[in-house]
Structure 1
Amino acid sequence: MVIESRHVGRRTNGEKSRADLGSFMSSMLLSRGKRRSLIVSWRVTLFTALVSCLAMSGYVASMLGWSNFSLTLSDLVHYWFAFDESNMTHQILATLRAPRAHAGLLIGASLAVAGLLMQGLTRNPLASPSILGINAGAACFMALAAIGIPVVSDLNPILNAVLGALLGGGAVMLLGGFFSERSHPLRLVLAGIAITALLIGLTRAALILADDMAYSVLHWLTGSLSSVDEGQWQQLWPPAVIGLVLAVSLARNLNLLALGEEVAVGLGSNIRLTRLMSGLAIVLLAGASVAIAGPIGFVGLLVPHLVRPMVGHNYHLLIPISAMAGAALVSWSDALSRSIAFPTETPVGVITALLGTPCFILIATRRS
């Protein structure tokens, strides 16, 4: 009996030591996890602050800009806090500069979020409004309206572009097999290239027929903010804001969808409704942007790939930070477009294409 009790005591001491070791290891793992989460939170905070500063400074640069009428930061501060209708500088800022700067911020945010949603829905890193036919569809319908096609020309420009974006993107989704079980990312991209080429051909045919409006339409097709005024800004912000709010409301469902369709359904997510509402948000965001500024390419492709490594895959963070990053990109591109060849203005779409094309090649090469 004494021997058995000693063995029991020894076994109890060994179990205690193993328990102590296990608790020590678990505490080490927990502390390591806490440190890692703290580092990630600090990284997200610093990146968000950086993107916010870039967006705000891009807005200021777009407001001041490069033109024959010189403006200073002091003029901008007085315009913000002591607006005077009789002041010519304030009138220039209010009627010419402010609508353009505001549109640059909102269009950049809209295109970036549209690209983010498309990549999340299709699980395709190459998906964006400029590649999957959405921008080309909106641009084609706007060009057809410019030459006076009866049904198309009678519509509101925003509605016209949204309809074109819906048809262009829908055709790509159908040909790419997005709604079937045999969907493949490469097939979707190839369908996007084919439909985009077709729509670009129709747009060029419309340009040939639009003799007196060919130059203005061609300039618009390169992606430009030069003609944005107060009236166009008032047409832009309602559908764009609705699209952004809709995207934010879908963040939880997109997070569930990223885990897989079966997991998402098991956790109570409605996959069809998520896809439908995400598609509506994409069409509103991309269509409204193209209607005002033309097809500014690569914003929706470039921004999500810049933001995702710094923020992670949580759409509650991805959507607002991508919106700020897109706003910063387009605002600074607009400011650069006026300074590179001053007094001639380079289209914003040219600047974003120069930035986005190498990124597209890099992503395609790495994924292949």
Structure 2
Amino acid sequence: MTDPSTADPAASRTFPCEACGATVEYAPSTAALRCSYCQHEQAIVPVLRQVQEHPFEELATLPAKPLATPGALQTFHCPGCQACTESDSLSVRCQFCATPLVADAAPTERVVPEAVVPFGLDRSAARKALRAWTSSRWFAPSSLKKVTEAETSKGSYLPHWTYDAATISHYRGERGEHYWVTETHTVTEGGETRTETREVQRTRWWPASGTVVEDFDDVLVPGTTQMTQKQLDKLHPWPLDEARPYQEEYLAGFQTVRYDIEPEAGLDTAKTKMASVIEASCRNDIGGDEQRVHSVDTRYSDLTFKLLLLPVWILSYLHAGRSWQVMVNARTGEVIGERPYSVLKIVTAVLAALAVVSAGILLYLGLRHS
């Protein structure tokens, strides 16, 4: 880990307002930077390049960088108040004057961001999404609906890896085909015994093998351990077609988390996701009524990757003296997170369900004896 006490302060990029000279920051859902003082907006000049996928073999040629160790601190030099701010992020606000600061990723990152999905929801829209979410929770205390404001809110870009691949898989398994047989059995009722027949389903299994081909595009894998993959998966789907070539302007005013999961490790997770799709393809190829897949041998080609930044609002709200945290997909408004439960409502619902089941059983028994 780099010792922050010996790190040289890096010149941090800021974006001055063309109208008043103050510092501007990215305005969500636009292609512009906005001044928080005079509200002037200035367009972000788009870069003349397309989002690119990088051959996976390229990783072997990338040199190590001095701050590439997860947790290493980068020192931001604020050009406004001249203060230094230490952070393990790529973009922050000055801790003294709140000026948006953006670092140049090239000197410190082994892999620099290739693309960014810009913020589509501003802070006000994120809080509105929180209010809608708290008011619609099942089995929540009635007082939760009164939560109308976030205690804290922070906009963050989270790093994700995307992977493309062409696969060819050879499988071995079995195809199951159903058939029916008639079975006889005896039934004793009211002291009388009688013979009845019933149709029973059986399955014949036949050996099966074959080859399936699947192409994968933008298999998404989190590049950070600051949130769990289970949490981030709940924020899906992401409009990846709205990704734009990486530009530092989109980061101004927001925190940008550096990746701490290397692309090689991310590929292992991506292959696990691909494997479930490949197995489904094998089962479809086997056909029949049921399938058993014993082995799958997959070969990958045209394997590419890129580093993508996705926008998330991290909010906390206060309820019953406790702070609860939620995350909001800053493009779609999807909300996931912690919430309280009402024990009384849950018990009442369980008792009501038991009452309905009991009434159904009594009705059934009454009809049988009528």
User: What TM bracket, shorter-length normalisation?
Assistant: under 0.3
Query: Which structure dedicates a bigger proportion of its chain to helix?
Result: 1
